[in-house]
A and B are shown apart, each in its own frame.
Chain A
Protein backbone atom coordinates (compact mmCIF):
# COMPACT_ATOMS: atom_id res chain seq x y z
CA UNK A 1 0.00 0.00 0.00
CA UNK A 2 2.75 2.43 0.89
CA UNK A 3 5.65 0.88 -1.00
CA UNK A 4 6.20 3.91 -3.20
CA UNK A 5 6.34 6.33 -0.30
CA UNK A 6 9.65 7.17 1.37
CA UNK A 7 9.94 7.86 5.07
CA UNK A 8 10.86 11.47 4.53
CA UNK A 9 7.95 12.03 2.21
CA UNK A 10 5.65 10.48 4.82
CA UNK A 11 7.09 12.80 7.45
CA UNK A 12 6.59 15.88 5.33
CA UNK A 13 3.02 14.94 4.53
CA UNK A 14 2.40 14.42 8.24
CA UNK A 15 3.73 17.80 9.29
CA UNK A 16 2.29 19.75 6.40
CA UNK A 17 -1.11 18.09 6.47
CA UNK A 18 -1.46 18.38 10.23
CA UNK A 19 -0.66 22.06 10.13
CA UNK A 20 -3.22 22.55 7.38
CA UNK A 21 -6.01 20.76 9.23
CA UNK A 22 -5.08 22.49 12.45
CA UNK A 23 -5.46 25.89 10.82
CA UNK A 24 -8.80 24.94 9.29
CA UNK A 25 -9.95 23.73 12.69
CA UNK A 26 -8.88 26.96 14.39
CA UNK A 27 -10.63 28.96 11.68
CA UNK A 28 -13.88 27.08 12.10
CA UNK A 29 -13.83 27.34 15.89
CA UNK A 30 -13.10 31.05 15.65
CA UNK A 31 -16.17 31.41 13.47
CA UNK A 32 -18.15 29.20 15.87
CA UNK A 33 -17.09 31.40 18.76
CA UNK A 34 -18.45 34.39 16.91
CA UNK A 35 -21.65 32.51 16.09
CA UNK A 36 -22.21 31.61 19.75
CA UNK A 37 -21.72 35.16 20.91
CA UNK A 38 -23.90 36.73 18.24
CA UNK A 39 -26.50 34.15 17.23
CA UNK A 40 -27.08 30.92 19.11
CA UNK A 41 -26.98 32.06 22.72
CA UNK A 42 -28.29 35.04 24.63
CA UNK A 43 -24.81 36.36 25.26
CA UNK A 44 -26.08 39.75 26.36
CA UNK A 45 -28.41 38.03 28.81
CA UNK A 46 -25.53 36.53 30.79
CA UNK A 47 -26.50 38.34 33.96
CA UNK A 48 -24.57 38.11 37.20
CA UNK A 49 -27.22 35.74 38.42
CA UNK A 50 -26.78 33.37 35.46
CA UNK A 51 -23.03 33.42 35.99
CA UNK A 52 -23.48 32.79 39.68
CA UNK A 53 -25.81 29.92 38.82
CA UNK A 54 -23.21 28.37 36.56
CA UNK A 55 -20.71 28.69 39.37
CA UNK A 56 -23.01 26.88 41.80
CA UNK A 57 -23.64 24.22 39.18
CA UNK A 58 -19.89 23.66 38.96
CA UNK A 59 -19.12 23.89 42.66
CA UNK A 60 -21.52 21.04 43.32
CA UNK A 61 -20.47 19.06 40.25
CA UNK A 62 -24.05 18.33 39.23
CA UNK A 63 -22.46 17.20 35.92
CA UNK A 64 -21.14 14.01 37.51
CA UNK A 65 -24.69 12.70 37.89
CA UNK A 66 -26.60 14.66 35.25
CA UNK A 67 -26.00 15.45 31.62
CA UNK A 68 -26.30 19.00 30.32
CA UNK A 69 -26.91 19.29 26.58
CA UNK A 70 -26.14 15.58 26.47
CA UNK A 71 -22.69 15.79 28.06
CA UNK A 72 -21.77 14.62 31.50
CA UNK A 73 -22.90 11.58 33.44
CA UNK A 74 -25.75 9.23 32.61
CA UNK A 75 -27.00 8.59 36.15
CA UNK A 76 -29.72 11.24 36.32
CA UNK A 77 -32.00 13.19 33.96
CA UNK A 78 -30.82 15.61 31.26
CA UNK A 79 -31.09 19.17 32.57
CA UNK A 80 -30.46 21.26 29.44
CA UNK A 81 -34.21 21.35 28.88
CA UNK A 82 -35.46 20.85 32.44
CA UNK A 83 -36.81 24.39 32.42
CA UNK A 84 -39.06 23.49 29.51
CA UNK A 85 -39.93 20.12 31.06
CA UNK A 86 -41.24 21.99 34.08
CA UNK A 87 -43.35 24.20 31.82
CA UNK A 88 -41.14 27.28 32.16
CA UNK A 89 -41.95 28.51 28.67
CA UNK A 90 -45.63 28.91 29.50
CA UNK A 91 -45.57 29.59 33.20
CA UNK A 92 -42.16 30.77 34.39
CA UNK A 93 -43.26 31.43 37.93
CA UNK A 94 -44.75 27.98 38.29
CA UNK A 95 -41.63 26.27 36.90
CA UNK A 96 -39.36 28.28 39.16
CA UNK A 97 -41.40 27.34 42.15
CA UNK A 98 -41.55 23.67 41.22
CA UNK A 99 -37.79 23.50 40.68
CA UNK A 100 -37.19 25.13 44.06
CA UNK A 101 -39.44 22.62 45.72
CA UNK A 102 -37.64 19.81 43.92
CA UNK A 103 -34.27 20.98 45.18
CA UNK A 104 -35.58 21.37 48.72
CA UNK A 105 -37.11 17.92 49.09
CA UNK A 106 -33.90 16.07 48.20
CA UNK A 107 -32.87 13.48 49.12
CA UNK A 108 -36.08 11.57 48.72
CA UNK A 109 -34.71 8.60 50.63
CA UNK A 110 -36.99 6.32 48.64
CA UNK A 111 -35.71 2.76 48.92
CA UNK A 112 -34.46 1.42 45.58
CA UNK A 113 -34.55 4.80 43.83
CA UNK A 114 -31.48 6.79 42.81
CA UNK A 115 -30.71 9.57 45.21
CA UNK A 116 -29.84 13.18 44.64
CA UNK A 117 -28.08 14.93 47.54
CA UNK A 118 -29.87 17.61 49.52
CA UNK A 119 -28.36 21.09 49.34
CA UNK A 120 -29.12 23.93 51.66
CA UNK A 121 -29.07 26.67 49.08
CA UNK A 122 -30.33 30.13 49.96
CA UNK A 123 -33.26 31.59 48.07
CA UNK A 124 -30.84 33.72 46.06
CA UNK A 125 -28.68 30.74 45.16
CA UNK A 126 -31.70 28.77 44.03
CA UNK A 127 -32.78 31.66 41.85
CA UNK A 128 -29.31 31.87 40.33
CA UNK A 129 -29.21 28.15 39.61
CA UNK A 130 -32.63 28.30 37.99
CA UNK A 131 -31.65 31.40 35.99
CA UNK A 132 -28.71 29.41 34.66
CA UNK A 133 -30.93 26.47 33.69
CA UNK A 134 -33.42 28.84 32.09
CA UNK A 135 -30.67 30.58 30.11
CA UNK A 136 -29.33 27.19 29.01
CA UNK A 137 -32.74 26.05 27.80
CA UNK A 138 -32.75 28.94 25.31
CA UNK A 139 -29.51 27.95 23.54
CA UNK A 140 -30.14 27.11 19.88
CA UNK A 141 -29.12 23.42 19.92
CA UNK A 142 -30.10 22.54 16.35
CA UNK A 143 -33.27 20.92 17.63
CA UNK A 144 -31.76 18.61 20.22
CA UNK A 145 -33.07 16.81 22.29
CA UNK A 146 -35.62 14.98 20.14
CA UNK A 147 -38.34 15.37 22.77
CA UNK A 148 -39.07 16.86 26.14
CA UNK A 149 -37.84 13.81 28.08
CA UNK A 150 -34.32 15.02 27.33
Chain B
Protein backbone atom coordinates (compact mmCIF):
# COMPACT_ATOMS: atom_id res chain seq x y z
CA UNK B 1 0.00 0.00 0.00
CA UNK B 2 1.68 3.18 -1.12
CA UNK B 3 -0.87 5.80 -0.23
CA UNK B 4 -2.29 6.50 3.21
CA UNK B 5 -5.86 6.99 2.09
CA UNK B 6 -6.11 3.61 0.44
CA UNK B 7 -7.06 2.38 3.88
CA UNK B 8 -10.46 3.99 3.35
CA UNK B 9 -11.32 0.78 1.51
CA UNK B 10 -11.00 -1.39 4.61
CA UNK B 11 -14.39 -0.67 6.25
CA UNK B 12 -16.06 -0.96 2.84
CA UNK B 13 -14.72 -4.47 2.44
CA UNK B 14 -15.76 -5.49 5.93
CA UNK B 15 -19.29 -4.15 5.42
CA UNK B 16 -19.52 -5.89 2.06
CA UNK B 17 -18.48 -9.23 3.52
CA UNK B 18 -20.97 -9.03 6.39
CA UNK B 19 -23.81 -8.27 3.98
CA UNK B 20 -22.60 -11.06 1.69
CA UNK B 21 -23.04 -13.54 4.54
CA UNK B 22 -26.56 -12.25 5.17
CA UNK B 23 -27.41 -12.44 1.46
CA UNK B 24 -26.44 -16.07 1.23
CA UNK B 25 -28.32 -16.96 4.41
CA UNK B 26 -31.50 -15.45 2.96
CA UNK B 27 -30.79 -17.45 -0.19
CA UNK B 28 -30.65 -20.65 1.82
CA UNK B 29 -33.93 -19.76 3.53
CA UNK B 30 -35.56 -19.14 0.12
CA UNK B 31 -34.21 -22.45 -1.09
CA UNK B 32 -35.57 -24.14 2.04
CA UNK B 33 -39.06 -22.73 1.41
CA UNK B 34 -38.99 -24.40 -1.99
CA UNK B 35 -38.37 -27.70 -0.19
CA UNK B 36 -40.66 -27.16 2.82
CA UNK B 37 -43.36 -24.84 1.45
CA UNK B 38 -45.07 -24.20 4.76
CA UNK B 39 -41.87 -22.95 6.36
CA UNK B 40 -42.21 -19.38 7.66
CA UNK B 41 -45.24 -18.85 5.44
CA UNK B 42 -46.73 -16.42 7.95
CA UNK B 43 -43.65 -14.98 9.64
CA UNK B 44 -41.47 -14.37 6.59
CA UNK B 45 -43.20 -15.29 3.34
CA UNK B 46 -41.19 -16.15 0.25
CA UNK B 47 -41.44 -12.72 -1.37
CA UNK B 48 -39.89 -11.04 1.65
CA UNK B 49 -37.04 -13.55 1.78
CA UNK B 50 -36.43 -13.17 -1.92
CA UNK B 51 -36.29 -9.39 -1.96
CA UNK B 52 -33.96 -9.46 1.05
CA UNK B 53 -31.72 -11.92 -0.79
CA UNK B 54 -31.50 -9.96 -4.03
CA UNK B 55 -31.28 -6.50 -2.46
CA UNK B 56 -28.47 -7.52 -0.14
CA UNK B 57 -26.66 -8.86 -3.19
CA UNK B 58 -26.87 -5.56 -5.05
CA UNK B 59 -26.01 -3.49 -1.99
CA UNK B 60 -22.91 -5.45 -1.03
CA UNK B 61 -21.64 -5.65 -4.59
CA UNK B 62 -21.90 -1.87 -4.88
CA UNK B 63 -20.16 -1.35 -1.54
CA UNK B 64 -17.43 -3.67 -2.79
CA UNK B 65 -17.07 -1.61 -5.97
CA UNK B 66 -16.90 1.62 -3.97
CA UNK B 67 -14.19 0.14 -1.75
CA UNK B 68 -12.27 -1.21 -4.72
CA UNK B 69 -12.35 2.21 -6.32
CA UNK B 70 -11.04 3.93 -3.21
CA UNK B 71 -8.35 1.31 -3.00
CA UNK B 72 -7.02 1.59 -6.52
CA UNK B 73 -7.59 5.26 -7.32
CA UNK B 74 -4.64 6.59 -5.28
CA UNK B 75 -2.28 4.16 -6.98
CA UNK B 76 -3.66 4.88 -10.41
CA UNK B 77 -3.98 8.63 -9.96
CA UNK B 78 -0.79 8.85 -7.88
CA UNK B 79 -2.46 11.06 -5.34
CA UNK B 80 -4.41 10.66 -2.11
CA UNK B 81 -8.21 10.31 -2.02
CA UNK B 82 -9.80 13.74 -2.21
CA UNK B 83 -11.70 13.38 1.06
CA UNK B 84 -11.44 10.26 3.24
CA UNK B 85 -14.08 11.66 5.59
CA UNK B 86 -16.57 12.00 2.79
CA UNK B 87 -15.90 8.36 1.98
CA UNK B 88 -16.71 7.26 5.53
CA UNK B 89 -19.88 9.35 5.61
CA UNK B 90 -20.89 7.96 2.26
CA UNK B 91 -20.37 4.41 3.45
CA UNK B 92 -22.33 5.03 6.64
CA UNK B 93 -25.21 6.45 4.65
CA UNK B 94 -25.26 3.58 2.20
CA UNK B 95 -25.10 0.90 4.87
CA UNK B 96 -27.77 2.68 6.88
CA UNK B 97 -30.07 2.92 3.86
CA UNK B 98 -29.53 -0.72 2.95
CA UNK B 99 -30.07 -1.92 6.51
CA UNK B 100 -33.18 0.22 6.91
CA UNK B 101 -34.63 -1.25 3.74
CA UNK B 102 -33.86 -4.76 4.95
CA UNK B 103 -35.52 -4.22 8.32
CA UNK B 104 -38.50 -2.57 6.67
CA UNK B 105 -39.00 -5.55 4.37
CA UNK B 106 -39.53 -7.81 7.35
CA UNK B 107 -42.46 -5.58 8.28
CA UNK B 108 -43.88 -5.45 4.79
CA UNK B 109 -42.61 -1.95 4.00
CA UNK B 110 -41.48 -2.08 0.39
CA UNK B 111 -42.25 -1.04 -3.13
CA UNK B 112 -43.11 -3.56 -5.74
CA UNK B 113 -40.83 -3.73 -8.75
CA UNK B 114 -38.37 -6.59 -8.78
CA UNK B 115 -34.94 -5.56 -7.41
CA UNK B 116 -36.20 -1.99 -6.91
CA UNK B 117 -38.26 -2.69 -3.79
CA UNK B 118 -36.53 -0.03 -1.67
CA UNK B 119 -38.93 2.63 -0.36
CA UNK B 120 -38.56 6.01 -2.05
CA UNK B 121 -36.61 7.63 0.78
CA UNK B 122 -34.13 4.74 0.79
CA UNK B 123 -33.63 5.17 -2.94
CA UNK B 124 -32.99 8.86 -2.37
CA UNK B 125 -30.43 8.20 0.39
CA UNK B 126 -28.66 5.71 -1.84
CA UNK B 127 -28.56 8.22 -4.66
CA UNK B 128 -27.07 10.85 -2.36
CA UNK B 129 -24.45 8.42 -1.12
CA UNK B 130 -23.65 7.39 -4.68
CA UNK B 131 -23.24 11.03 -5.72
CA UNK B 132 -20.92 11.69 -2.78
CA UNK B 133 -18.86 8.75 -3.92
CA UNK B 134 -18.75 9.98 -7.51
CA UNK B 135 -17.74 13.45 -6.39
CA UNK B 136 -14.96 12.06 -4.23
CA UNK B 137 -13.67 9.77 -6.93
CA UNK B 138 -13.90 12.31 -9.70
CA UNK B 139 -12.08 14.98 -7.67
CA UNK B 140 -9.33 12.48 -6.94
CA UNK B 141 -9.06 11.72 -10.61
CA UNK B 142 -8.98 15.39 -11.57
CA UNK B 143 -6.18 16.04 -9.10
CA UNK B 144 -4.05 13.19 -10.36
CA UNK B 145 -2.92 11.08 -13.25
CA UNK B 146 -5.69 9.71 -15.46
CA UNK B 147 -5.09 6.17 -16.61
CA UNK B 148 -7.33 4.09 -18.83
CA UNK B 149 -8.20 1.91 -15.84
CA UNK B 150 -9.32 4.75 -13.62
CA UNK B 151 -11.16 6.54 -16.41
CA UNK B 152 -13.07 3.45 -17.55
CA UNK B 153 -13.86 2.54 -13.95
CA UNK B 154 -15.20 5.96 -13.07
CA UNK B 155 -17.10 6.10 -16.32
CA UNK B 156 -18.75 2.78 -15.48
CA UNK B 157 -19.73 4.06 -12.05
CA UNK B 158 -21.04 7.36 -13.39
CA UNK B 159 -23.15 5.61 -15.98
CA UNK B 160 -24.41 3.16 -13.36
CA UNK B 161 -25.63 6.12 -11.30
CA UNK B 162 -27.24 7.74 -14.33
CA UNK B 163 -29.15 4.63 -15.35
CA UNK B 164 -30.15 4.11 -11.73
CA UNK B 165 -32.25 7.26 -12.07
CA UNK B 166 -34.73 5.22 -14.10
CA UNK B 167 -35.56 3.47 -10.83
CA UNK B 168 -37.49 6.65 -10.00
CA UNK B 169 -39.56 6.47 -13.17
CA UNK B 170 -42.53 4.14 -12.95
CA UNK B 171 -45.06 4.71 -15.73
CA UNK B 172 -48.62 3.49 -15.22
CA UNK B 173 -48.46 1.62 -18.53
CA UNK B 174 -47.01 -1.80 -17.65
CA UNK B 175 -45.18 -2.21 -20.97
CA UNK B 176 -43.44 1.13 -20.57
CA UNK B 177 -42.69 0.33 -16.94
CA UNK B 178 -40.98 -2.88 -18.02
CA UNK B 179 -39.12 -1.29 -20.90
CA UNK B 180 -37.48 1.33 -18.67
CA UNK B 181 -37.01 -1.10 -15.80
CA UNK B 182 -34.48 -2.91 -17.98
CA UNK B 183 -32.58 0.35 -18.38
CA UNK B 184 -31.56 -0.21 -14.79
CA UNK B 185 -31.30 -3.99 -14.67
CA UNK B 186 -29.87 -5.03 -18.02
CA UNK B 187 -27.87 -1.88 -18.72
CA UNK B 188 -26.25 -2.34 -15.34
CA UNK B 189 -25.18 -5.96 -15.41
CA UNK B 190 -24.59 -6.34 -19.13
CA UNK B 191 -23.60 -2.76 -19.87
CA UNK B 192 -21.93 -0.36 -17.52
CA UNK B 193 -20.99 -2.87 -14.82
CA UNK B 194 -19.03 -4.52 -17.62
CA UNK B 195 -16.79 -1.46 -17.62
CA UNK B 196 -16.32 -1.86 -13.87
CA UNK B 197 -15.52 -5.53 -14.23
CA UNK B 198 -13.06 -5.11 -17.08
CA UNK B 199 -11.21 -2.25 -15.43
CA UNK B 200 -10.94 -3.99 -12.06
CA UNK B 201 -9.65 -7.14 -13.75
CA UNK B 202 -7.16 -5.04 -15.69
CA UNK B 203 -5.96 -3.50 -12.44
CA UNK B 204 -5.50 -6.89 -10.81
CA UNK B 205 -3.68 -8.17 -13.86
CA UNK B 206 -1.30 -5.20 -14.01
CA UNK B 207 -0.51 -5.57 -10.33
CA UNK B 208 -0.01 -9.28 -10.30
CA UNK B 209 1.67 -9.93 -13.64
CA UNK B 210 3.73 -6.83 -14.20
CA UNK B 211 2.85 -6.83 -17.90
CA UNK B 212 3.21 -3.49 -19.67
CA UNK B 213 0.43 -1.04 -18.94
CA UNK B 214 0.27 0.03 -22.58
CA UNK B 215 -0.70 -3.50 -23.66
CA UNK B 216 -3.19 -4.04 -20.87
CA UNK B 217 -4.92 -0.75 -21.49
CA UNK B 218 -5.32 -1.53 -25.15
CA UNK B 219 -7.01 -4.80 -24.25
CA UNK B 220 -9.17 -2.95 -21.78
CA UNK B 221 -10.50 -0.59 -24.44
CA UNK B 222 -11.13 -3.42 -26.86
CA UNK B 223 -13.04 -5.40 -24.23
CA UNK B 224 -15.21 -2.55 -22.99
CA UNK B 225 -15.88 -1.60 -26.58
CA UNK B 226 -17.19 -5.09 -27.24
CA UNK B 227 -19.25 -4.92 -24.03
CA UNK B 228 -21.12 -1.78 -25.05
CA UNK B 229 -21.38 -2.48 -28.78
CA UNK B 230 -23.16 -5.75 -28.00
CA UNK B 231 -24.75 -5.00 -24.64
CA UNK B 232 -26.68 -1.83 -25.48
CA UNK B 233 -28.76 -3.30 -28.28
CA UNK B 234 -28.53 -6.66 -26.50
CA UNK B 235 -31.13 -5.23 -24.13
CA UNK B 236 -33.49 -6.34 -26.85
CA UNK B 237 -33.39 -9.90 -25.47
CA UNK B 238 -35.72 -8.66 -22.73
CA UNK B 239 -38.00 -6.86 -25.17
CA UNK B 240 -39.43 -9.86 -27.00
CA UNK B 241 -42.65 -10.51 -25.06
CA UNK B 242 -43.57 -7.43 -23.05
CA UNK B 243 -45.56 -5.50 -25.61
CA UNK B 244 -42.74 -3.99 -27.67
CA UNK B 245 -42.32 -4.17 -31.47
CA UNK B 246 -41.41 -7.43 -33.18
CA UNK B 247 -38.10 -6.14 -34.54
CA UNK B 248 -36.57 -6.68 -31.10
CA UNK B 249 -36.54 -10.41 -31.84
CA UNK B 250 -33.85 -10.25 -34.55
CA UNK B 251 -32.11 -7.22 -33.04
CA UNK B 252 -32.02 -8.60 -29.50
CA UNK B 253 -31.05 -12.09 -30.62
CA UNK B 254 -28.20 -10.87 -32.78
CA UNK B 255 -26.62 -8.35 -30.43
CA UNK B 256 -27.08 -10.34 -27.24
CA UNK B 257 -25.45 -13.33 -28.93
CA UNK B 258 -22.45 -11.05 -29.51
CA UNK B 259 -22.30 -10.37 -25.76
CA UNK B 260 -20.42 -13.63 -25.49
CA UNK B 261 -17.42 -12.06 -27.26
CA UNK B 262 -16.25 -9.64 -24.54
CA UNK B 263 -16.71 -12.38 -21.95
CA UNK B 264 -14.55 -14.69 -24.02
CA UNK B 265 -12.02 -11.91 -24.57
CA UNK B 266 -11.74 -11.46 -20.80
CA UNK B 267 -10.83 -15.13 -20.36
CA UNK B 268 -8.15 -14.90 -23.04
CA UNK B 269 -6.95 -11.62 -21.57
CA UNK B 270 -6.38 -12.80 -18.00
CA UNK B 271 -4.85 -16.15 -18.96
CA UNK B 272 -2.61 -14.65 -21.62
CA UNK B 273 -1.35 -11.96 -19.28
CA UNK B 274 -0.64 -14.35 -16.42
CA UNK B 275 1.12 -16.65 -18.86
CA UNK B 276 3.12 -13.83 -20.33
CA UNK B 277 3.81 -12.02 -17.07
CA UNK B 278 7.21 -12.59 -15.59
CA UNK B 279 6.25 -11.91 -12.04
CA UNK B 280 5.73 -14.72 -9.59
CA UNK B 281 3.25 -12.96 -7.37
CA UNK B 282 2.91 -14.49 -3.90
CA UNK B 283 -0.83 -13.87 -3.51
CA UNK B 284 -1.93 -17.14 -5.08
CA UNK B 285 -5.48 -16.89 -3.82
CA UNK B 286 -6.02 -13.51 -5.46
CA UNK B 287 -4.70 -14.95 -8.73
CA UNK B 288 -7.07 -17.89 -8.40
CA UNK B 289 -10.11 -15.65 -7.88
CA UNK B 290 -9.06 -13.41 -10.77
CA UNK B 291 -8.75 -16.28 -13.22
CA UNK B 292 -11.88 -17.92 -11.78
CA UNK B 293 -13.88 -14.74 -12.20
CA UNK B 294 -13.20 -14.52 -15.92
CA UNK B 295 -13.89 -18.22 -16.44
CA UNK B 296 -17.10 -18.42 -14.42
CA UNK B 297 -18.41 -15.17 -15.89
CA UNK B 298 -17.84 -16.69 -19.30
CA UNK B 299 -19.85 -19.79 -18.37
CA UNK B 300 -22.55 -18.15 -16.27
CA UNK B 301 -23.18 -15.07 -18.36
CA UNK B 302 -21.78 -16.14 -21.72
CA UNK B 303 -22.69 -19.81 -22.11
CA UNK B 304 -25.78 -19.90 -19.89
CA UNK B 305 -26.88 -16.53 -21.26
CA UNK B 306 -26.51 -17.63 -24.86
CA UNK B 307 -28.44 -20.81 -24.11
CA UNK B 308 -31.74 -18.91 -23.79
CA UNK B 309 -31.09 -15.62 -25.53
CA UNK B 310 -32.25 -16.36 -29.08
CA UNK B 311 -35.88 -15.34 -29.37
CA UNK B 312 -37.16 -18.70 -30.61
CA UNK B 313 -35.58 -20.42 -27.59
CA UNK B 314 -36.57 -17.69 -25.17
CA UNK B 315 -40.18 -18.01 -26.33
CA UNK B 316 -40.26 -21.32 -24.45
CA UNK B 317 -37.75 -20.76 -21.65
CA UNK B 318 -38.71 -17.20 -20.64
CA UNK B 319 -39.26 -16.88 -16.90
CA UNK B 320 -38.52 -20.48 -15.93
CA UNK B 321 -35.91 -22.03 -13.65
CA UNK B 322 -33.52 -21.71 -16.59
CA UNK B 323 -33.51 -17.99 -15.96
CA UNK B 324 -32.81 -18.59 -12.27
CA UNK B 325 -29.92 -20.90 -13.16
CA UNK B 326 -28.36 -18.31 -15.44
CA UNK B 327 -28.97 -15.44 -13.01
CA UNK B 328 -27.09 -17.24 -10.25
CA UNK B 329 -24.01 -18.29 -12.16
CA UNK B 330 -23.76 -14.99 -14.03
CA UNK B 331 -23.96 -12.81 -10.95
CA UNK B 332 -21.65 -15.12 -9.06
CA UNK B 333 -19.03 -15.44 -11.77
CA UNK B 334 -18.95 -11.88 -12.95
CA UNK B 335 -19.51 -9.79 -9.85
CA UNK B 336 -19.24 -11.88 -6.71
CA UNK B 337 -15.95 -13.45 -7.75
CA UNK B 338 -14.69 -10.09 -8.96
CA UNK B 339 -15.22 -8.59 -5.53
CA UNK B 340 -13.73 -11.60 -3.79
CA UNK B 341 -10.65 -11.32 -6.04
CA UNK B 342 -10.22 -7.67 -5.09
CA UNK B 343 -10.68 -8.41 -1.38
CA UNK B 344 -8.19 -11.26 -1.56
CA UNK B 345 -5.68 -9.01 -3.22
CA UNK B 346 -6.17 -5.88 -1.12
CA UNK B 347 -6.96 -7.06 2.40
CA UNK B 348 -3.45 -8.36 3.19
CA UNK B 349 -2.08 -4.95 2.29
CA UNK B 350 -4.80 -3.10 4.18
CA UNK B 351 -3.98 -5.19 7.22
CA UNK B 352 -0.25 -4.63 6.72
CA UNK B 353 0.53 -8.30 6.22
CA UNK B 354 1.93 -10.64 3.64
CA UNK B 355 -0.80 -12.79 2.00
CA UNK B 356 -2.30 -14.93 4.74
CA UNK B 357 -4.60 -17.92 5.20
CA UNK B 358 -4.18 -18.74 1.54
CA UNK B 359 -4.96 -22.40 1.85
CA UNK B 360 -8.28 -21.79 3.55
CA UNK B 361 -9.08 -19.06 1.05
CA UNK B 362 -8.41 -21.38 -1.87
CA UNK B 363 -10.48 -24.14 -0.30
CA UNK B 364 -13.36 -21.69 -0.05
CA UNK B 365 -12.84 -20.84 -3.72
CA UNK B 366 -13.22 -24.44 -4.84
CA UNK B 367 -16.09 -25.18 -2.51
CA UNK B 368 -18.05 -22.03 -3.35
CA UNK B 369 -17.48 -22.35 -7.07
CA UNK B 370 -18.45 -26.02 -7.18
CA UNK B 371 -21.49 -25.31 -5.03
CA UNK B 372 -22.69 -22.56 -7.35
CA UNK B 373 -21.95 -24.68 -10.42
CA UNK B 374 -23.92 -27.60 -8.99
CA UNK B 375 -26.80 -25.30 -8.08
CA UNK B 376 -26.79 -24.01 -11.64
CA UNK B 377 -26.81 -27.51 -13.10
CA UNK B 378 -29.76 -28.72 -11.05
CA UNK B 379 -31.75 -25.56 -11.76
CA UNK B 380 -31.00 -25.99 -15.44
CA UNK B 381 -32.36 -29.54 -15.37
CA UNK B 382 -35.41 -28.35 -13.48
CA UNK B 383 -35.82 -25.55 -16.00
CA UNK B 384 -35.60 -27.81 -19.02
CA UNK B 385 -38.26 -30.11 -17.60
CA UNK B 386 -40.42 -27.16 -16.63
CA UNK B 387 -40.07 -25.65 -20.10
CA UNK B 388 -41.06 -28.89 -21.73
CA UNK B 389 -43.98 -29.82 -19.48
CA UNK B 390 -45.43 -26.35 -19.05
CA UNK B 391 -44.61 -24.55 -22.27
CA UNK B 392 -44.65 -27.37 -24.80
CA UNK B 393 -47.00 -29.96 -23.31
CA UNK B 394 -49.13 -27.32 -21.61
CA UNK B 395 -49.44 -28.77 -18.10
CA UNK B 396 -50.38 -26.40 -15.30
CA UNK B 397 -47.66 -24.56 -13.45
CA UNK B 398 -48.30 -26.04 -10.00
CA UNK B 399 -48.58 -29.59 -11.35
CA UNK B 400 -45.21 -29.30 -13.05
CA UNK B 401 -43.61 -27.90 -9.91
CA UNK B 402 -44.73 -30.96 -7.98
CA UNK B 403 -42.41 -33.06 -10.14
CA UNK B 404 -39.34 -30.91 -9.55
CA UNK B 405 -38.93 -31.52 -5.82
CA UNK B 406 -35.75 -33.55 -6.18
CA UNK B 407 -34.00 -30.72 -8.00
CA UNK B 408 -35.02 -28.19 -5.39
CA UNK B 409 -33.68 -30.43 -2.65
CA UNK B 410 -30.36 -30.65 -4.46
CA UNK B 411 -30.36 -26.89 -4.95
CA UNK B 412 -30.77 -26.45 -1.22
CA UNK B 413 -27.89 -28.84 -0.58
CA UNK B 414 -25.68 -26.89 -2.97
CA UNK B 415 -26.78 -23.67 -1.28
CA UNK B 416 -25.72 -24.92 2.14
CA UNK B 417 -22.29 -25.80 0.74
CA UNK B 418 -22.01 -22.30 -0.72
CA UNK B 419 -22.98 -20.76 2.62
CA UNK B 420 -20.29 -22.77 4.41
CA UNK B 421 -17.74 -21.72 1.81
CA UNK B 422 -18.71 -18.08 2.29
CA UNK B 423 -18.14 -18.33 6.02
CA UNK B 424 -14.77 -19.96 5.36
CA UNK B 425 -13.84 -17.12 3.05
CA UNK B 426 -14.84 -14.49 5.57
CA UNK B 427 -12.90 -16.21 8.31
CA UNK B 428 -9.86 -16.51 6.06
CA UNK B 429 -9.98 -12.83 5.18
CA UNK B 430 -11.04 -11.17 8.41
CA UNK B 431 -10.03 -13.73 11.03
CA UNK B 432 -6.60 -14.14 12.61
CA UNK B 433 -3.92 -14.06 9.92
CA UNK B 434 -1.39 -16.83 9.40
CA UNK B 435 1.03 -15.78 6.72
CA UNK B 436 1.50 -18.42 4.09
CA UNK B 437 3.93 -17.65 1.33
CA UNK B 438 4.48 -20.19 -1.39
CA UNK B 439 7.71 -22.12 -1.01
CA UNK B 440 10.58 -20.57 -2.87
CA UNK B 441 9.11 -17.11 -3.09
CA UNK B 442 9.21 -15.65 0.41
CA UNK B 443 11.23 -12.68 -0.74
CA UNK B 444 8.48 -11.38 -2.99
CA UNK B 445 6.44 -8.60 -1.55
CA UNK B 446 2.75 -8.57 -2.34
CA UNK B 447 2.28 -4.84 -2.47
CA UNK B 448 3.14 -2.09 -4.88
CA UNK B 449 3.91 -2.28 -8.53
CA UNK B 450 6.80 -3.60 -10.52
CA UNK B 451 9.82 -1.37 -11.08
CA UNK B 452 9.34 0.87 -14.06
CA UNK B 453 5.73 -0.16 -14.31
CA UNK B 454 3.85 1.47 -11.47
Contacts and interface: CB of A to CB of B under 8 A. Distances in A.
**Co-assembled chains A and B:** yes
B82 interface: no
B244 A64 contact: no
Contacts of A46: 172-173
Which of A33, A71, A135 has most B Cβ within 10 Å? A71
Interface in A62-79: 62-65, 67-78
Nearest to A59: B112
A122 interface: no
Given A29-B179, A65-B47, A7 B217 contact: yes
Interface stretch (B14-22, B316-324, B422-430): B316-324
A75 B46 contact: yes
A150 to B, nearest CB: 6
Contacts of A37: 173, 176
A32 B245 contact: yes
A64 B394 contact: no
Interface stretch (A94-102, A111-119, A123-131): A111-119
Interface in B65-113: 110-113
Contacts of A62: 47, 112
B229 A2 contact: no
A62 B112 CA distance: 7
Contacts, number: 206
A17 B229 contact: yes
B225 A13 contact: yes
B225 A36 contact: no
B175 A21 contact: no
Contacts of B38: 109, 111-112, 115
B37 interface: yes
A21 B391 contact: no
A147 B394 contact: yes
Interface string B220-251: 01101100110011011011111111111101
Interface in B31-87: 33-34, 37-38, 41-42, 45-48, 50-51
Contacts of B323: 74
A113 to B, nearest CB: 6
Nearest to B217: A7
B102 to A, nearest CB: 14
Contact of A36 (B37, B47, B243): B243
Contact of B228 (A7, A17, A54, A64): A17
A146 B315 contact: yes
Contacts of B110: 61
Contacts of A117: 41-42, 45
A25 B230 CA distance: 11
13 contacts: A13-B221, A25-B233, A46-B173, A69-B241, A72-B319, A73-B50, A73-B114, A74-B320, A117-B45, A145-B241, A145-B391, A146-B392, A150-B390
Which 4 A-B residue pairs are closest in the complex by CB-CB distance? A58-B112, A70-B319, A64-B47, A144-B241
